[in-house]
């Protein structure tokens, strides 16, 4: 019996020390150290999923390595394929984070049930078999090749995996897993690190893709050590506003594809529905013209998306004016207000400003700036902007309208949706031929010009 040792782990970043410290020397957080039992000398570390195969690694030249294309298989869910960079890669380890109740379990149960040609193992440490059955009934999908295991010990899980030999494993969630090699409680830093490492070895050695569902802490990062994110191949984040039905699956890290990707779903009474044409739902169907409403031609990932921006500017009642945003960066709003104040002479300092991106979406594309600025102006002046007009441009500190990427795609999407006019940066116009377009393209140089052209 080897000696049990304890160590202190930072619950934020996973830093290990022998003594308790108030401040983590690695991530500078206070009061994050918790004592956990560790067993350094692990007697016999078998790989439970495999019969003894001795593999000796030696140096090879890159030329000697057989170039095999990474094997991928597509799921019936186009949005998931998209965020994974074109389907699930064999042997990959994918971590999916999200707030409780956002729909992580629903998303993966639904996908597992839809992958009918594969043998799927869904390991749940959070819900009972009956609960999962009830959810599957609610989703109204049947799959005989879908296997369920409610277990938290990795030893048992690997023993079952060895018997079943699944093509895909889903773990719900990594925080419930427990390896018998470590004594500390499930969800602690050392447990998460060790169980994730076991899953990683399993995925790589058997070429089976593994999805790990993870909880999220209050500040929005995935609970557990940062090393967890380094260990996995792909990190996805499932997010959305609890009060809206729309959910977004975002790529945070991807060894097999771009991180700019985005999948959109709608939570319905019987599961998540893919939203393949986001523009149609993100623009409210309105006939009349309202002040403070503009449409931005944004691109998230590879997909152009028209998004509605709503602003409300009112006289401030209290000494300090309020600035409230949903789906937009508050500092970015303050910057745009400062630009309007300085370059246009609009006194926003005595106004309350509320800004909303429709649908509960969070847009990170800077090209939304111009639409936000015009929505603010429109509400300030209480003058409506015509319905069939949209915007795509970034606003610089000196009030210049800057060029944005992939302008042709944005314009094409706007035209497809029946828009008649799009305002863009004049720097985007260079070298492009807009003569064949039905939509009118208006180039802008500075924010001062916006006002004259709009009102």
Q: Give binding residues for ATP as ranges.
A: 98-105
- By a kind-dependent CB cut-off of 5 to 8 A, residue 269 interacts, out of Mg ion, ligand TYD, none, with ligand TYD
Q: What is the biggest distance separating any 2 CA atoms in the chain, rounded to whole angstroms?
A: 82
For every residue of 400-418, DSSP letters joined together read BEEP-S-HHHHHHHHHHTT
CA distance 278 to 16: 45
Smallest distance from ligand TYD to CB 252, Å:
16
180: which 2 tokens?
A: 């018998």
The residues in 271-290 that bind ligand TYD, with binding defined as CB under 6 A, are: 271
Strand-pairing partners, residue 97, are 214, 237
Closest CA to 311 of 327, 299, 297: 327
Smallest distance from ligand TYD to CB 109, Å:
7
The residues in 124-143 that bind ligand TYD, with binding defined as CB under 6 A, are: 135, 138-139
Q: 239: part of which helix (H) or strand (E)? A: strand 234-239
Is residue 392 within the footprint of ligand TYD (CB under 6 A)?
no
Smallest distance from ligand TYD to CB 98, Å:
5
CA distance 198 to 446: 56
Is residue 269 within the footprint of ligand TYD (CB under 6 A)?
yes
Q: Give 134 or 432: the residue with its C-beta nearer to ligand TYD.
A: 134
> Are the C-beta atoms of residues 228 and 74 closer than 8 Å to each other?
no
Q: Which residues are annotated as a binding site?
A: 98-105
User: Binding mask 339-378 vs ligand TYD (x if CB under 6 A, - otherwise)?
Assistant: ----------------------------------------
Closest CA to 367 of 438, 431, 290, 422: 422
Is residue 270 within the footprint of ligand TYD (CB under 6 A)?
yes
- By a kind-dependent CB cut-off of 5 to 8 A, residue 103 interacts, out of Mg ion, ligand TYD, none, with ligand TYD
Name the one range near ligand TYD by CB under 6 A: 117-125, 269-277, 291-299, 333-341: 269-277
Strands 351-357 and 323-326, sheet pairing:
parallel
Instruction: Please provide residue 223's backbone torsions phi and psi, each rounded to the nearest 5 degrees.
Output: -60, 135
* Count of residues engaged in binding Mg ion, rule: CB under 5 A: 1
Is residue 240 within the footprint of ligand TYD (CB under 6 A)?
no
The residues in 349-368 that bind Mg ion, with binding defined as CB under 5 A, are: none
Q: Can you tell me which residue has the tokens 């940062």?
A: 226
Q: Can you tell me which residue has the tokens 């915007």?
A: 391
Strands 271-274 and 262-268, sheet pairing:
antiparallel
The residues in 88-107 that bind Mg ion, with binding defined as CB under 5 A, are: 105
From 22, 43, 101, 431, residue interacting with ligand TYD (rule: CB under 6 A): 101
Name the one range near ligand TYD by CB under 6 A: 200-208, 265-273, 323-331, 380-388: 265-273
Please work out, in degrees rounded to the nearest 5, the angle formed at the alpha carbon of residue 210 by the alpha carbons of 209 and 214.
150
Name the residues that contact Mg ion, by CB under 5 A. 105
Name the residues that contact ligand TYD, by CB under 6 A. 98, 100-106, 135, 138-139, 267, 269-271
């Amino acid at each position: 019996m080897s000696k049990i040792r304890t160590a202190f782990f930072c619950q934020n970043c996973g830093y290990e020390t022998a003594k308790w410290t108030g401040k983590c020397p690695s991530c500078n957080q206070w009061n994050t150290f918790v004592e956990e039992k560790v067993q350094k000398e692990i007697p016999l570390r078998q790989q439970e999923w495999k019969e003894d195969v001795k593999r000796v690694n030696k140096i090879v030249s890159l030329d000697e390595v057989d170039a095999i294309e990474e094997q991928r298989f597509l799921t019936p869910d186009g949005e998931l394929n998209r965020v994974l960079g074109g389907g699930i890669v064999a042997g990959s380890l994918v971590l999916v984070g999200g707030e409780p109740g956002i729909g992580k379990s629903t998303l993966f149960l639904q996908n597992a049930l839809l992958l009918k040609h594969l043998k799927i193992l869904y390991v749940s440490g959070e819900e009972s078999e009956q609960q999962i059955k009830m959810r599957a009934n609610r989703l109204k999908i049947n799959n005989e090749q879908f296997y369920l295991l409610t277990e938290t010990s990795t030893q048992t899980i690997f023993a079952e995996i060895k018997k079943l030999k699944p093509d895909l494993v889903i773990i719900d969630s990594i925080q419930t897993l427990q390896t018998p090699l470590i004594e500390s409680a499930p969800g602690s830093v050392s447990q998460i690190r060790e169980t994730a490492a076991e899953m990683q070895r399993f995925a790589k050695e058997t070429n089976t893709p593994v999805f790990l569902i993870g909880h999220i802490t209050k500040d929005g990062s995935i609970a557990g050590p940062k090393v967890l994110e380094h260990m996995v191949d792909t990190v996805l984040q499932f997010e959305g506003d609890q009060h809206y039905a729309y959910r977004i699956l975002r790529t945070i890290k991807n060894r097999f594809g771009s991180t700019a990707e985005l999948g959109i779903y709608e939570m319905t009474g019987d599961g998540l529905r893919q939203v393949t044409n986001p523009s149609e739902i993100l623009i409210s169907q309105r006939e009349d013209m309202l002040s403070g409403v503009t449409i931005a031609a944004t691109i998230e990932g590879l997909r152009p998306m028209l998004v509605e921006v709503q602003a409300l500017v009112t006289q401030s009642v209290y000494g300090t004016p309020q600035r409230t945003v949903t789906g937009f960066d508050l500092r970015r709003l303050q910057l745009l207000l400062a630009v309007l104040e300085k370059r246009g002479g609009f006194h926003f300092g005595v106004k309350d400003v509320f800004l909303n991106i429709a649908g509960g979406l969070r847009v990170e594309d800077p090209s939304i700036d111009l639409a936000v600025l015009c929505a603010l102006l429109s509400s300030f002046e209480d003058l409506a902007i015509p319905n069939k007009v949209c915007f795509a441009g970034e606003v610089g500190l000196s009030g210049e309208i800057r060029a944005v990427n992939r302008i042709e795609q944005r314009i094409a999407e706007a035209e497809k949706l029946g828009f008649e006019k799009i305002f863009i940066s004049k720097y985007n116009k260079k070298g492009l031929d807009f003569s064949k377009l039905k939509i009118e393209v208006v180039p802008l140089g500075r924010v001062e010009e916006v006002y004259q052209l709009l009102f």
